[in-house]
Amino acid sequence: MSAQTDEQLRGAPAAPGPQEVPARAQDVMTVDGVSSDEGHAALRASVRKLGELLGESLTRHEGRELLDLVEQVRALARRPDDGAELAQLLSGVDDATAINLARAFTAYFQLANASEQLHRGLELSRASTGGGLDGALERLAAALGSGDLDRDTAREILGRLQLRPVFTAHPTESSRRSVLDLLLRITTIVQASEDSSQRPLDARRGQRRLAELVDELWQTDELRVLRPRPADEARSALHYLRNLTSTVLPDLLEDLAVGLADLDLDLPADAQPLRFGNWVGGDRDGNPNVTPEVTAEVLAMQHDAALDVLTAATRDLMTELAASTQIVGFSPELLASLEADAQALPEVRAARAHLNGEEPYRFKLSYVLARLEGTRARLHSGAEHVEGRDYANVEQFTAEIRMLQDSLRANEGDLVADGAVARLLRVVRAVGFSLATLDVREDAGKHHTALAAIYDRLGELITPYADLDRTARTKLLSKELTGHRPLIGAAARTLTGTPAKVVQLFSTIRDSLDRYGDDVIETYIVSMTKGIDDLFAVVVLAREVGLVDLADTDGAHDVARIGFAPLFETVTELENAEELLEGLLSDPSYRRVVAARGDVQEIMLGYSDSSKDAGIAASRWQIHRAQRALRDVARRHGVTLRLFHGRGGSVGRGGGPTGEAILAQPYGTLDGPIKVTEQGEVISDKYVQPRLARHNLEVALSAALEASTVHRTPLQSGEVLDGWDETMSVVAAKGQEAYRALVRDPGLVPFFLSATPVEELGNLNIGSRPARRPGGTGGLEDLRAIPWVFGWTQSRINVPGWFGVGSGLAAARAAGHEDDLRAMVAEWAFFRSFISNVQMTLAKTDLGIAAHYVEELVAPESRGAFETIRAEHARTVEQVLWLTGQEELLETAPVLRRTLELRDAYLAPLHALQVSLLGRSRASGEDVDPALRRALLLTINGIAAGMRNTG
């Protein structure tokens, strides 16, 4: 793999700054003497070896007949004909054989994908480029040296720098962790086998082990028997978080700290440049399975995992710190603390004094470990804190480690103090006792329903709360915020239904903060925010349980234990974002809430629903414009803006390289903190391989550092930006017009439901959240953005990732903006990233395969939408090629193009099999044979593996 930027790999001009390598195949350039051809040859050899082992496994388990059928299907799928012979062959395949065919092709993709990840990570680790931390630090040094940035400003920004990847569950996450664990073991052996210094005996043993693991892979079910519960999804997220915080985090944070120190920029002691977030167990929007009890359960799991991480790190430090009183001195504070420890934990003294009595650091860490275990026991039982036997909070734990650090520095141990001990302290700052900060999200309407029930019980409103307009509700709730009376009181016990659940949720948040500390839940996100009353409603409910207190008239003792964030999801909401934030921050009561939160206001931007609502061009442009407007409002009110980007895994839902996306934000938007969702479907691809995990986190953190410190002013003149804005507005407007004409066509619903397996998705046990919003009419508006993208991806149409862009670009050219368009793709990171992602999605689109779905599954009277899609696809390819100066898509990325062609050789049979099985399944009506359903679901799983993303 190369460390070239994603734009270079995909054919667009490169931008300065770090770029993330996304979870998919990339072009292979020259890396430290390893040529493109050599790198690709190694990958092909690895895939070939694993493919041969899979063939042997198929023969052992199912007989030579299956392997012959697999090869026959693959050969027919590659023939440039109408596919009639392949269709006839597959129509005669029984359900049991169809299951084995689907599993065979899926297993190939799993092995090929794992091998790609391995080689990508290996070559990235050998790369030496200006990307990542090195590049960001170089550009920061240049800004300091030129005077564009002064050191005091840089230090201030670094104090609030924080990248927070927020791990989410995913309704279309298709890979089981059991399968992922096997694949990781396989790639570990493959890596060892490619070491030229490996002994022959080791090589033979490795080959036997590979065959064994491939057999295990074939015997492992790719499909979940039961739909996962939110707690199961949380365990999966915690699995990755534990690994990241134990392996990747210490080195990455050390490299950042050392690099900044070289520039005479030290991170503050309480800095958290990298902190993880979690949505699993907190995101209840549309998921009735996420209850207050689930939230409490997940928080307990998180703390258990965090204490495991800190305990292991402390044990490692204890192994290193063997300094003896016979050789060096120790601080009086440390020695005095050991006496106090002996009184509080005499059992530890009795067990360790004879071993570590002359090794004060180890002796001290024995007590620290005992207190960590005491903390775990206290949190499990809900007991009271006992001073000296457990930690009331993470600050007490940190203070003890700092005591060791101070003693080392005072006694010739500076290297250790700034090395191993500092590493532990950085991890503690990042992990705390909670591992990650949990966000809570709920629909705005639920809060108004609760308040309507509460006010109705009070009987004081002339007009019932539910009948108040937004202006009246805003006035009522703003006044209520500074009041002293309780609204609920004893009436809380008489609430039922949604109101009772809403109040219980706020009580659970309060109890969790009391039990675990104020960093465990930080933000309450309000989805479907349309007015400031939607935020005020949440703050009032939080006040009712003691999370907010604005009772003091002077505001000196205001309390806001959590923050509140609106989520702008549709294009209309994004257009109104500036007005809404201005209204929020202009309200004296709410402004006091923000002040109590350190003058930080979080805003969440939704990519998925805005794209589903208006198409990718309008969505991206409106999000970009909204960021500018929100930035300016926050500045006027003296507030730090923390944007939370709700990006999906696929391009149609805001996906693409995270580092690239961060650097493509408007100048000055990122002022230290930023949050970005890590969707369940891409977590495994980005983080299962340690080298890739390090690289992906590094480029995102580097981008956040660079965007916050270096990209604070525009790179172009106001006149140039105005011209580009005008051009992009044409692209977005015409793109939205074309997209909405498609989705509002009455024929699209029957076309979409017939031409894609989206309806069958409900039978795949891959997520706890329903695919549709409750209480709808059954139309597209009820379908969540994730299955909307999922369906199009399965049939290779990929409408959400490109539709309307061709119309938009053509309209801009017709309006005389050709020169601006060329300048924009060369010089504007936002536009270049946008076009780069569209080009990738176009390359993954295959309307030849899609036509087979349409011809076999869609009634003739419902096929009109496909002609519209064909025409827009041709238009978009034509415009993108003109803009990038290419003769064909991915022309400047030949290895990537060959890799996608290789994938298609194995995807084509799965698509053909899926079409055949969909026809059979739908002909069966409601009475679908379980074996047939299983075969169909396996094709869905296999295509998802081959496409490397789902929703």
Catalytic positions: 170, 612
115 is written with which tokens?
Answer: 């091998």
Q: What are the φ/ψ torsions at residue 605 (nearest 5 degrees)?
A: -110, 125
Query: How far apart, in whole angstroms, are the C-alpha atoms of residue 227 and residue 161?
Result: 39
* Spacing of C-alpha 623 from chain mean position: 18
| Angle subtended at Cα 659 by Cα 654 and Cα 663, rounded to the nearest 5 degrees | 90
- Is residue 164 within 8 A of residue 277, CB to CB? The reply is yes
Q: How far apart (Å, rounded) are the C-alpha atoms in residues 853 and 915?
A: 6
CA distance 660 to 85: 45
Computed over its alpha carbons, how large is the radius of gyration of the chain?
A: 29
The secondary structure element, H or E, covering residue 524 is strand 521-527
Coil, strand or helix at 537: helix
For residues 855, 925, 906, 792, the Cα torsion angle rounded to the nearest 10 degrees is 60
Do β-strands 563-568 and 600-606 pair in parallel, antiparallel, or remain unpaired?
Answer: parallel
The two structure tokens encoding residue 380: 């499990």
Residues 6+ apart with CB under 8 A from 595: 555, 558
State whether residue 389 is helix, strand or coil: coil
Are 186 and 688 within 8 A, CB to CB? no
DSSP secondary structure code for residue 286 in this structure = T
Alpha-carbon gap, residue 733 to 457, rounded angstroms? 48
Rounded to whole angstroms, the Cα distance separating 932 from 925 reads: 12
Q: Is 392 helix (H, G, I), strand (E, B) or coil?
A: coil
Segments of 399-512 assigned E as strands: 437-443
**Nearest C-alpha neighbor of 620 from the set 583, 581, 653, 586:** 653
Are 580 and 566 in contact by the 8 Å Cβ rule? The answer is yes
Both tokens of 468, joined, read 């108040």
Cα end-to-end distance, the chain, whole Å: 26
What pairs with residue 364 in β-bridges?
A: none
d(CA 883, CA 810): 11
Where does residue 446 rank: exposed (0-12), middle (13-18), buried (19+ CB within 10 A)?
buried
Strands 640-646 and 600-606: parallel
Burial 763-791 (b: 16+ CB within 10 A, else e): bbebbbbebbeeeeeeeeeebbbbbbbbb
Judge contact between 645 and 654, C-beta under 8 A: yes
- Spatial separation of the C-alpha atoms in residues 372 and 315, rounded to whole Å: 11
* The pair of three-digit structure tokens given for residue 542, joined into one six-digit string: 């939080």
**Residues in the chain, how many?**
951
Query: Distance (Å, rounded) from C-alpha 1 to C-alpha 685?
Result: 15
Residue 164's DSSP bridge partners are 675
Pairing of strands 437-443, 277-278: parallel
Is residue 573 within 8 Å of residue 579, measured between CB atoms? no
Count of CB atoms situated within 10 Å of the CB of 299: 26
CA–CA separation, 816 vs 196, rounded Å? 59
Asked if residues 227 and 221 have their Cβ atoms less than 8 Å apart, the reply is no
Show Cβ contacts of residue 909 under 8 Å, excluding neighbours closer than 6 positions. Answer: 70, 73, 74, 76, 77, 86, 101, 105
